[in-house]
């Protein structure tokens, strides 16, 4: 069993410090004394260092490298008590992070990406996982990989993911990335398989009214922009599916749009709106795209950021104050179909959802059936009125004369 070193908060000479506690052992004492900046307090009878995040990280890695188990729960509780909500910390850019790695770590990162490619994960998943492991390697750049353990993972999650206020979805992605990474490294005591992903946040989707969709199309004067909005809404497309849509995927005669290798590598077919056909033909005749339906200036894939930018401007012109993204149009498509009486199973197929539970969320925002439910108070008053012999109107307030 590893010897334990306990880190606790210490107020000494009106300053915040970290007290270093351990069961007396001459070897441990000498090892701690060698740490840069360590001092002895005769008053508190303990070794200590100045309390900064940088010092804590160095001390943690130094003790781990010496073969000690570091118990720093007391420091975490203090941080929770004094922490306040702050703006999300902007992390260093990828180039800076990568340049901070040594050659061994760079080789390890490349090997990890190859490992993920071998599992046939999508490009976007590999990019996300690779970034989190880049951050992990940079955070532990002073520690040899043979000294990594589950404590190293926990420390990274607390100091980077939690402190920089990553979202729940990013936290879940990071755990998945680390699970793959520890499997790739295959090191003793370095295993993320028991780490639990936090539960997903369940938010109701933002949905535009049917009238707002028409307003949005009408105020968008640019033909290409209007065609993009029309396709996103009428096909219930994800933005990536729209950007990768090619001309031969459109079957105008059969009123079909073929989605190739959408999310989860699934092909599907959606119904093409009859109303959008003239708009789409006008756009194709005017812009003459060669390969992709929506092409950039150089003929390549159109920019997703450009779509978000003009959509924001169109919403402003239409007087729509909700936070609208391209995915909002997909949410609106699904919700409006449900309100139009389309069976949930068909909507699931059109959206390309693997699980019906994913599609079920739209039952919480569809208004047609909900608005038809009669309030029990109205029903009760009506029943009492029908039972009354004199058929007088039942009132629940005083009879005021207006």
The phi and psi torsions of 7 (rounded to 5 degrees) equal -105, 130
What residues does each domain of the chain span? Answer: 4-82, 94-185, 210-364
CATH architecture of the domain 210-364 equals Orthogonal Bundle (1.10)
- Residues 191, 144 contacting (CB under 8 angstroms): no
Question: What pLDDT score does 84 carry?
Answer: 42
**Each residue's pLDDT tens digit in the chain (402 positions)?**
678 899 988 888 878 899 999 988 889 999 999 998 999 988 888 999 988 877 888 888 888 888 888 888 777 655 444 444 444 567 778 898 999 999 999 999 999 999 999 998 888 899 999 999 999 999 998 888 888 988 899 989 988 998 888 888 899 999 999 999 999 999 988 999 999 988 876 677 888 998 999 999 999 999 999 999 999 999 999 999 999 999 999 999 998 999 987 676 778 889 888 988 999 999 999 999 999 999 988 878 899 999 999 999 999 999 999 999 999 999 999 888 888 888 888 888 888 887 777 777 776 666 655 556 666 767 766 777 777 655 566 555 544 444
Question: What pLDDT score does 42 carry?
Answer: 84
Conformation bin of residue 352: beta by default, left when phi > 0, alpha when psi is -120 to 50: left
Residues with catalytic annotation?
238, 263, 327, 330, 353, 362
- Residues 190, 156 contacting (CB under 8 angstroms): no
d(CA 74, CA 72): 5
d(CA 343, CA 19): 64
Q: Which CATH number fits domain 94-185: 1.10.150, 3.40.50, 1.10.1740, 1.10.10?
A: 1.10.150
d(CA 284, CA 252): 12
- Residues 225, 314 contacting (CB under 8 angstroms): yes
């Amino acid at each position: 069993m590893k010897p334990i070193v306990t880190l606790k908060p210490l107020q000494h000479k009106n300053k915040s410090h970290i007290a270093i506690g351990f069961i007396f052992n001459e070897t441990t004492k000498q090892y701690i004394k060698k740490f840069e900046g360590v001092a002895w307090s005769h008053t508190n009878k303990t070794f200590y260092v100045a309390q900064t995040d940088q010092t804590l990280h160095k001390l943690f890695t130094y003790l781990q490298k010496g073969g000690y188990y570091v118990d720093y729960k007391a420091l975490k509780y203090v941080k929770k008590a004094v922490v306040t909500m702050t703006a999300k910390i902007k992390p260093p850019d990828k180039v800076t992070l990568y340049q901070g790695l040594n050659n061994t770590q760079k080789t390890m990162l490349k090997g990890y990406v190859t490992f993920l490619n071998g599992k046939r994960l999508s490009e976007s998943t590999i990019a996300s996982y690779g970034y989190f492991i880049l951050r992990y390697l940079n955070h532990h750049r002073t520690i040899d990989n043979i000294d990594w353990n589950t404590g190293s993972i926990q420390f990274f999650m607390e100091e980077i993911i939690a402190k920089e206020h990553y979202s729940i979805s990013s936290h879940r992605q990071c755990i998945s990335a680390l699970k793959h990474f520890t499997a790739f490294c295959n090191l003793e005591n370095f295993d993320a398989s028991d780490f639990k992903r936090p539960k997903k946040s369940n938010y109701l989707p933002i949905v535009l009214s049917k009238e707002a969709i028409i307003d949005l199309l009408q105020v968008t004067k640019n033909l290409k922009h209007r065609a993009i909005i029309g396709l996103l809404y009428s096909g219930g497309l994800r933005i990536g599916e729209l950007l990768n849509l090619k001309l031969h995927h459109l079957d105008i005669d059969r009123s079909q749009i073929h989605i190739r290798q959408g999310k989860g590598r699934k092909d599907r077919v959606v119904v093409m709106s009859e109303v959008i056909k003239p708009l789409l033909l006008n756009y194709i005749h005017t812009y003459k795209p060669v390969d992709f339906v929506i092409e950039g200036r150089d003929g390549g894939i159109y920019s997703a950021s450009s779509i978000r930018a003009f959509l924001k401007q169109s919403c402003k012109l239409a007087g729509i104050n909700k936070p609208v993204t391209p995915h909002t149009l997909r949410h609106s498509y699904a919700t409006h179909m449900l309100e139009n009486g389309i069976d949930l199973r068909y909507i699931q197929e059109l959206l390309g959802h693997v699980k019906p539970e994913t599609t079920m969320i739209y039952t919480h925002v569809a208004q047609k059936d909900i608005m038809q439910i009669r309030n029990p108070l109205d029903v009760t008053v009506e029943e009492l009125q029908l039972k009354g012999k004199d058929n007088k109107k039942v009132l629940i307030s005083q009879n005021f004369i207006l």
